[in-house]
């Protein structure tokens, strides 16, 4: 009972599931931003690549970190350019974090995913750039109300900056996307000839709506509930998302969602001697209210029905796909075949690596579940980093 009540609580497991890949802290921040009416939309103008400010430089024996502010119309993007002292390639790897308002290091459960990757790449002679999402760190703008098109524009403006910069000049790019960042990598690569390679790290190949419903089912995996109730809940999620997307029949879908939740809670509580009907109905109402907000976030909804495999089908550049056998957020069975079929259709060169016992962060894991992330060592599984750098240099 405790497990399910927690599951129906505010900003816990299912909230993370519906935000697909975001960590719990970032989802809470999004909901808080909505609650205080962070409604300002950011519109991008023509990028002004030379209007920049270097805000810090650090060195070690092999690399140099240069903190940059890149102005793109009405907002600025803060990021770190990490360059090797002895480069082995002239291209720049741009690191794209997963969903949620991430900092440039993609710090999740204390694990600085992109920082570690950038440092390794530099040690192998490969330059990279990682950046704060809108409204995070040195970047301005409104993350909650930004869409997939806004994120694409930011990435294109970053590439334009490096192509026109006299001080930090790069003309060829590798787009490295983790999780939802992989969707962005494929989308931007298709329409930019300066992108020469793509790396997909635990990236979805299906519309996020399918990942969401998969994760909803996963939350009930260890719960003794009739299959009919579980599927009724999945349908309630689907109908609420579609109603909000179409801006039609929202109240009807909302009420169905609330009533379905009530049914599940009453079923779970049926073995108890005394059922607090008022409390259960309050929990159902709270869950329905919460998901109505979450499913209305542009930062999520603009990705929900976008099919990334359609972009992959058009790629004519080399692709590296990285998969974790214990990734339960973007599972192999749902995404790997879809990616491969898309790339086979495109006819491009690709290489896949599957890492045994690796979770969504590519840590060595036992279960791969989210509640395990914070307990694991803050390092990647063996051969993960070398697999990336070797492919970049040799492909």
Same domain, 13 and 65: no
Is the pLDDT at 3 greater than 90? The verdict is no
- Contact yes or no for 51/64 (Cβ under 8 A): no
Dump pLDDT digits (tens) for 197-244: 999 999 999 999 999 999 899 889 888 899 999 999 999 999 999 999
User: Can you give the residue range of the structural domain that contains 156?
Assistant: 47-206+316-394
What CA dihedral angle connects 56, 66, 123 and 325, to 10 degrees?
Answer: 100
pTM metric for this prediction: 0.84
Cβ–Cβ contacts within 10 Å for residue 277, how many?
Answer: 12
Q: How many CA atoms lie within 13 A of 54 on its CB side?
A: 9
| E strand segments, the chain | 47-59, 63-72, 75-84, 92-96, 107-108, 111-112, 127-131, 173-178, 195-201, 319-324, 350-355
Is the pLDDT at 158 greater than 70? The verdict is yes
- Contact yes or no for 53/133 (Cβ under 8 A): no
Pairing mode of beta strands 63-72, 47-59? antiparallel
Same domain, 103 and 184: yes
In a domain, 309, yes or no: no
Range with the lowest mean pLDDT among 45-59, 83-97, 157-171? 45-59
CA 24 to chain centre: 13
328, two tokens: 């339960």
In a domain, 308, yes or no: no
Average pLDDT (64-93) is: 95
208 sits in which H/E element: helix 208-219
What CA dihedral angle connects 206, 210, 211 and 212, to 10 degrees?
Answer: 150
Is the pLDDT at 181 greater than 50? The verdict is yes
What DSSP letter does each residue of 164-194 carry, written as one string?
H-SSS----EEEEEETHHHHHHHHHHHT-TT
Average pLDDT (280-294) is: 96
DSSP 364: B
Last residue of a domain, one of 303, 336, 354: 303
Which residue has better confidence, 11 or 304? 304
Same domain, 194 and 151: yes
Same domain, 55 and 157: yes
Count of domains observed in the chain: 2
Average pLDDT of the residues of the chain: 86
Average pLDDT (366-372) is: 92
Same domain, 343 and 246: no
Is the pLDDT at 273 greater than 90? The verdict is no
- Contact yes or no for 40/74 (Cβ under 8 A): no
In a domain, 310, yes or no: no
C-alpha distances (whole Å) from 302 to each of 6, 306, 367, 369, 377 are 28, 7, 31, 26, 34
Dump pLDDT digits (tens) for 297-319: 998 899 999 999 999 999 999 99
Same domain, 181 and 117: yes
């Amino acid at each position: 009972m405790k497990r399910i009540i927690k599951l129906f609580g505010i900003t816990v497991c299912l909230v993370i599931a519906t935000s697909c890949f975001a960590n719990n802290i970032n989802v809470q921040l999004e909901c808080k931003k909505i609650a205080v009416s962070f409604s300002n939309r950011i519109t991008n103008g023509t990028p002004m690549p030379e209007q920049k400010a270097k805000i810090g430089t650090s060195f070690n024996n092999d690399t140099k970190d240069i903190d940059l502010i890149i102005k793109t119309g009405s907002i600025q993007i803060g990021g770190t350019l990490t360059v090797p002292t002895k480069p082995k390639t002239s291209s720049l790897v741009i690191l794209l974090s997963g969903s949620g308002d991430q900092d440039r290091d993609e710090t999740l459960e204390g694990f600085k995913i992109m920082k570690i990757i950038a440092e390794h790449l530099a040690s192998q002679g490969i330059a990279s750039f990682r950046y704060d999402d809108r409204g995070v760190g040195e970047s301005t703008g409104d993350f909650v109300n930004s869409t997939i098109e806004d994120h694409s524009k930011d990435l294109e403006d970053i590439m334009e900056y490096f192509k026109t910069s006299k001080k930090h000049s790069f003309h060829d790019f590798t787009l490295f996307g983790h999780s939802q960042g992989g969707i962005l990598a494929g989308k931007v690569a298709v329409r930019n000839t300066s992108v020469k390679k793509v790396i997909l790290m635990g990236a979805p190949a299906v519309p996020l709506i399918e990942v969401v419903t998969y994760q909803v089912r996963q939350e009930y995996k260890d719960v003794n509930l009739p299959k009919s109730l579980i599927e009724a809940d999945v349908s309630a999620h689907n109908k609420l998302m579609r109603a909000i997307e179409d801006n039609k029949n929202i109240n009807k879908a909302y009420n169905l969602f609330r009533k379905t939740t009530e049914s599940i809670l009453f079923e779970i509580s049926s073995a108890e001697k005394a059922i607090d009907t008022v409390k259960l109905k309050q929990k159902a109402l709270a869950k329905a209210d919460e998901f109505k907000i979450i499913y209305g976030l542009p930062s999520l909804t603009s990705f929900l029905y976008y099919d990334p495999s359609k972009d992959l089908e058009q790629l004519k550049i080399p692709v590296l796909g990285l998969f974790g056998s214990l990734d339960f957020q973007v599972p192999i069975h749902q995404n790997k075949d879809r990616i491969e079929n898309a790339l086979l259709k495109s006819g491009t060169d690709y290489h896949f690596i599957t890492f045994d016992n690796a979770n969504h962060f590519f840590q060595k894991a036992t279960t791969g579940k989210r509640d395990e992330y914070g307990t694991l060592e803050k390092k990647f599984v063996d051969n993960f980093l070398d697999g990336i750098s070797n492919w970049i240099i040799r492909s």
